[in-house]
Amino acid sequence: MAAVINNIPTTPSPIVTSTRFTDEYDLKEELGKGAFSIVRRCIQKLTAQEYAAKIINTRKLSARDHQKLEREAKICRLLKHSNIVRLYDNIAEEGFHYLVFDLVTGGELFEDIVAREFYTEADASQCIQQILEAVKHCHDNSIVHRDLKPENLLLASKSKGAAVKLADFGLAIEVTGEQTQWYGFAGTPGYLSPEVLKKEPYGKPVDIWACGVILYILLVGYPPFWDEDQHRLYNQIKAGAYDYPSPEWDTVTTEAKKLIDSMLNVNPSRRISAADALKHPWICQRERVAGTIHRQETVDCLRKFNARRKLKGAILSTMFVTRTLLPNSAAITGGSGATNGKKSTAVPTGSGISPVTTSAISSVFASGVNRSRPTTQSDSSAIKESVDSNSATIDDANDTERTDRIKYTSSKIFTAAKKTFPSPSTIAAAMTLTSQPTKVTDINSEVTKVTEQLLQAIANSDYEMYKSLCDPKITCFEPETIGNLVEGLDFHKFYFDTVLSTKPNKPTINCTMLTPVVHPLGDDSACIAYILLLQFLDRNGQPQSVRTEETRVWHKKDSRWLCVHFHRSGMPIATAIKSSFST
């Protein structure tokens, strides 16, 4: 089964009435949903092989979307490589289009890295080698991906050493050899090359630039270009203004930095090719050249990088549903969104054939949101972190048409979402909506109180109380989910039944909510961000503390506040309590 089940449907699931497809495949459980599609696991009857079937409701596609779908399918049919998510079948029938892909179950590469016990420079070398192998295959077939980023780097399975798979060819184009021309402004802000930002002719080197950004992140856990202001971010990229600050880069080998420099050359004609990069000593002679010390600080930074980019997608997803699908959302009307949501780490979805990732609805703000900023750690060490400069995909060829079709929020939301996302305690501030001061005060008080009640239910091991405060289909991202988006209460009940059980030796827990910040999202929805401090006595009677950052999204239904989504970063709380308390 796919690792991540994530996406929020904006239309009812299509009714499958195919002939050839159902004759050849058995449909199984749902893996994800998009605006115009549903993804389900399927089994080929003849071979018993498992695949991921994306079923697209073509009746709801515009003429441009039809063209894009055909283009992506054509490109994916050309590409057959072990490091690329493969399209095995392409069936077009009346009203529906079926795309049969690899069933990719390992989740995102970046999420796998932070779950490892040991991660070295040599591991980063092995990762980028597989990415470059995929890019080289694309370029050898005159294909430019144009949207290389962490969300599109998946693992074939959860087994150790699983192959890295390049996914999402929604923005891919065919080019003629090494020729360059202007193909349009497309990509993702933090990974755009200087030539694209300058609106100059471009070609294959744009993918190499993105590989350079990815390699930089693989080595230290944060991106080379970051700024609160998107205009300044773009100026940094155009100037190639990045560096290798101490102390984190002091332990990275010179050869690794040289490879990054050759990839992040602002002159595309002098930028290294994928074929030559694969011949670089840091890659082809990694046993001799690449460092082998464990890079714990890289893992720590990368964990925060992952958490924040997923938090961005999760909050926008919830906001999308709140303003579009839930009752009483009609009070907020007006402005327009931009592109349809897409993304999950297992299989493809959206209007094209892009994989469904956890930044589900983030691409609605297709004008590009800069979310990178430096963050000062509590120990006063200045470490740059990205709140995510990589989830809002831009495709100027589609924005105008989709703007007319997707009207789900007010112009205030759209304006706010284009601003910088702040630090953890105020991460949801970009979604603040103005309303009457009295109502805001009431909502702030109510949401803070109901959050305290929920935390008290956890401290008291009271699952029934916890259940009464949560939507039955609550979604969450937390360390225990290993980077996956989990839906429903069964996942939470497991921890109440085990770690927080009513056994005589259950731990006594004290929960403290620090610096809560509430951001109303209308009269019946709100987001609260806070620091959670848990205190408990371990099996030796010694006091222990666990600190995490949490964000919860609440929706008011029938005069009752229910938690519909939450995100937790930091260490796994359940594991910490269990390991400290178990005999």
Give helix then strand counts, H and E, for the chain.
18, 21
d(CA 202, CA 278): 22
The distance in angstroms from the start CA to the end CA of the chain is: 34
Torsion over CA: 498, 503, 506, 511 (sign): positive
Annotated ligand binding at 279? The verdict is no
Beta bridge partners of residue 394, listed in sequence order: 187
Q: CA 551 to CA 539: how far, in whole Å?
A: 30
Active-site residue flag, 140: no
Q: What are the distances in angstroms from CA 340 to CA 73, 279, 346, 407, 443?
A: 19, 39, 19, 11, 30
DSSP 358-402: SSTTGGGSTT----EEEEE-TTS-EEEEES-SSS--EETTTHHHH
Q: Beta-carbon neighbour count of residue 480 at 10 Å?
A: 17
C-alpha angle 253-258-263 in degrees, rounded to nearest 5: 130
Q: What are the respective helix, strand and coil percentages of the chain, to the nearest 5? A: 35, 20, 40
Of 387, 417, 310, 431, the closest CA to residue 6 belongs to: 310
Q: Could you tell me if 427 and 529 are in contact, meaning their C-beta atoms sit under 8 angstroms apart? A: yes
Asked if 385 and 376 touch (Cβ cutoff 8 Å), the reply is no
Residue of 147, 168, 395, 524 marked active site: 147
Is the bond preceding 355 in cis, omega lying within 30 degrees of 0?
Answer: no
Distance CA 453, CA 531 (A): 16
Strands (E), 407-542: 470-477, 486-487, 509-520, 525-537
- Rounded to whole angstroms, the Cα distance separating 275 from 498 reads 52
Rounded CA separation 344/33 (Å): 9
DSSP state letters, 241-259 = -----TTTTTTS-HHHHHH
DSSP of 154-190, one letter per residue? Answer: EES-SSTTPPEEE---TT-EE--TT--B---SEE-GG
Going by the annotation, the residues of the binding site for ATP are 54
- Residues annotated as catalytic (active site), given as ranges: 147
Going by the annotation, the residues of the binding site are 54
